[in-house]
Each structure stands twice: as C-alpha cells, then as structure tokens.
Amino acid sequence: MSEKKLVPKKRFESFKSEWIEKSLNEISESFTYGLNVEAIEYDGENKYLRITDIDDITRKFNKNELTSPHIDYEISSDYILSEGDILFARTGASVGKTYRYSKLDGIVYYAGFLIKARIKKEHDIEFIFQNTLTKEYKRFVYVTSQRSGQPGINAQEYSTFKLFTPTIEEQQKIGAFFKVLDDRITNQERKLAKVKALKDAYLTEMFPQEGETVPKRRFKGFEDEWRKDKLMNIAETYSGGTPSITSKLFYNGDIPFIRSGEIGKQVTNLHITEEGLTNSSARLVNEGDILYALYGATSGEVSISKINGAINQAVLAIEPKNDNDNHFLVYWLKKHKQKIIETQLQGGQGNLSGELIRKTVIDLPSKEEQQKIGEFFKNLDNQIEMEKKKLDKLQKMKEAYLEEMFV
C-alpha cells in the first residue's frame, strides 16, 4: 500500500504521523457471544438488547419496547455490557449492524445473535465505533457475510476486520468530533419527532371525534356544528389505467406516470407517451390535485400532487368542487386513514375500492374554517419538511466526514 493511503484526506492540523493498520483482534481484549434466552417483561432495571433493539440509522438502543432476559442475574454478570464494549450483529438481514454501549443505557444484557468486542483502554471507543460506519467496514461485511448460504459473520471473522489507527490523541480528537456531530443529529431528530407528534395531536383534536359534530380544538370565531356529506358530492373523483406494457410506443415519453407509491413525489420511475395516454385508460392530473392510493402497501395514503402527470388504476384523483378546500380534505383523509382501511380494505392484496372511497362520509365545517384548518396543517407539514432537510444535511455531512477522516 502506498504511503499516501496511510493518512486520511482530512485531519486536524496538529497531527502529521502516519496511521497504522491493525485488526479488530489486536485492539480488542475479547470477543464474546451473547445470551440465548427468552425475553420477558421489563423488570424496570435489567435490559435485554436484541438485534431489533438497535436502531438501523442511529445505532442507538431503541427503548420503545424494553424487555428483560429470563436468567439468573447472580451468575450472568459476564453478559452485562460496560464502557468499552461494541456489539456486532452476527447473522441474518442485520449482519454487520453495530452498537456502542453507553452507561446512560443502564444495566444491559445482550442477546445471542450479537457478539461483544471489548476494546482495549489504549484506544478511543468512539473512534473505533465510527470505523464501523465507514464504507470500508460495509464492504468488509458484504464480502465476509456472503461466504455461506445464510448471511453471517462469526467472532473469528469479525476479529480479522482491518482498520487504520492514528495516535490515541488523534483518535480522541476524531472521536470527540463525531460525538458532537452525532449529538447534533440526535437533537435534530428530536426536533423533527416533536413537530410530527404535534401534528398527530392536532389531527386528533381539530376534527370531530366519532359521534360528535364539533372538534375539541378550533380557531376563534367558529362555533357552528359541522355537517356531513359524501366525498362524491363535494369533489370530482376518477381513477386511471395502465398502457399496454407490450408496446414500446407507449413508454419513455414526457408524461410522468404516477403510481400509488409516488403520489407525493416530484419524480416518477416511469413516463408514458401521448400515444400511451390516448390508447389506455390513464388519466391526466394536475399539480395541486388530491391523489389517493388505492392498492398495495400504500393503500390509504393521500397527498397533494406535486407534478402534472398521469395516473393508473391504483390511484384515485380527487378534485374538490364548490370551493371546498383541498388541503382540508387531505388532512381529514389522513386523520381517518386507519378507520377507512379497517372498514373498507378488500382482498388478499389489501386494495381499496374507489367506489367505496367516493361514498365515504366527510365531516365538513364552513369553507372559511376548512381553509383555516388546511392552511394550519400545510404550515406544519412545511415545518416538518424543513426540519427533515436539516436532518438530511447533517446526515450527509457525517457521511462525507466518514469518507474523508478515516483511512
């Protein structure tokens, strides 16, 4: 390996020495498999960490569904995590996933499909952990895990992972840098989650509950009871169709072809031609129209179209009439998505009937109150989008630094 490759592209100014290649085995005191025991109800103190409890993105302990291990705690202290421990998932779809123990997580036992590497004290834990998020590590996992039919990496194989290490002082500097960056990402995730939770709360309070005629929370100046009407009476609705896939003349044109999984997107995977539109039941929709997904995994999803395009039979277009507000209708449908799915989903494929959706009874306030509510939720969604963009920017920044600050 050339001398140039033994230093990172970007580093702190005071460090000049070359990095040294080491295996994970050289920097670890031991490798230990976890406990193959039953997960039981959380006892309030002893936590049981399984592969599924490690967040795929943040790699932190997701404590939404805490459990405890079914063990004799007095004789199982070897399976308690401590500072300096990094866990590696050893099998299945999660192979390669890692977690760095934090004492803030409390008393944690780890499950059998995880391998614990206890990092030696002369290395910075944060620096070593961040190495497991690099492209080099991901490449190692991909190559190593494919050696057998069932994807997996055992402790001996993990111990061979090669990484480059600088002095402990530079390790600590890099580790601290990424710790700060991770904290910023975590804070931004919290901001995003807070706005989303706020939106969910308002969706519950700003539309009438079952059997009621007014919402719990509303804007000043509005006191009248809400009325009910069928969607088909307050909006024009129609679905589209799909041009024959056997004709090359019908595809790769200039018309975006919006399918159920793309109703809120600005780009589509398929485009059709004018010939495809003319020779099929595909229907044109405009930016600003309401699009409602009828089929498959996205059944019940609803969005304002962000583009002009054409729809197939899996999408119901909704165009409010008589000045009914399109954003209000979108958020009413979002609020009632679960109820609609529970009462109207048909067949093994999980499809909704366009005809039944047309007959859905909508709660309607005055046009002015509709506009107020629609604008309110539109602004909340804009705030969510802004917070999401900030999070995406931080995550991309971290990806760039991982590429530049490690050898």
Do residues 147 and 214 both lie within one domain?
A: no
Assigned domain for 251 exists: yes
Do residues 108 and 184 both lie within one domain?
A: no
Do residues 202 and 148 both lie within one domain?
A: no
Do residues 137 and 197 both lie within one domain?
A: no
Assigned domain for 117 exists: yes
- Residue by residue, what is the 3-state secondary structure of 271-286? EECHHHHHCCCCEEEC
Do residues 191 and 289 both lie within one domain?
A: no
- DSSP-assigned states of every residue in 362-401: EEE--HHHHHHHHHHHHHHHHHHHHHHHHHHHHHHHHHHH
Do residues 23 and 161 both lie within one domain?
A: yes
- Measure the CA–CA gap between 259 and 270, rounded to whole angstroms: 9
Assigned domain for 329 exists: yes
Assigned domain for 4 exists: no
Question: Which 3 state secondary structure label does DSSP give 331?
Answer: helix
Return the axis-axis angle of helices 337-344 and 326-335, rounded to nearest 10°: 60
Contact, 243 vs 310, CB < 8 A? no
Assigned domain for 3 exists: no
pLDDT, one tens digit per residue, over 176-212 is 999 999 999 999 999 999 999 999 999 999 999 999 9
Do residues 209 and 295 both lie within one domain?
A: no
Contact, 335 vs 343, CB < 8 A? no
**Burial class of residue 323 (count of CB atoms within 10 Å of its CB; 0-12, 13-18, 19+):** exposed
Q: What is the dihedral of CA 118, 133, 189, 265, to 10 degrees?
A: -150
Structure tokens at 225: 């009871």
pTM of the full structure? 0.85
The position carrying tokens 């109800």 is: 41
Q: Each residue's pLDDT tens digit in the chain (407 positions)? A: 344 568 999 999 989 999 999 999 999 999 999 999 999 999 999 999 999 999 998 899 999 999 999 998 877 888 999 988 999 999 888 999 999 999 999 999 999 999 999 999 999 999 999 999 999 999 999 999 987 667 899 999 999 999 999 999 999 999 999 999 999 999 999 999 999 999 999 999 999 999 999 999 999 999 999 999 999 999 999 999 999 999 999 999 999 999 999 999 999 999 999 999 999 999 999 999 999 999 988 999 999 999 999 999 999 999 999 999 999 999 999 999 999 998 887 655 678 999 999 999 999 999 999 999 999 999 999 999 999 999 999 999 999 999 999 99
Counting the structural domains of the chain, the total is 3
Residue 289: CATH number of its domain? 3.90.220.20
- Segments forming the whole domain that contains residue 189: 167-223+365-407
Assigned domain for 123 exists: yes
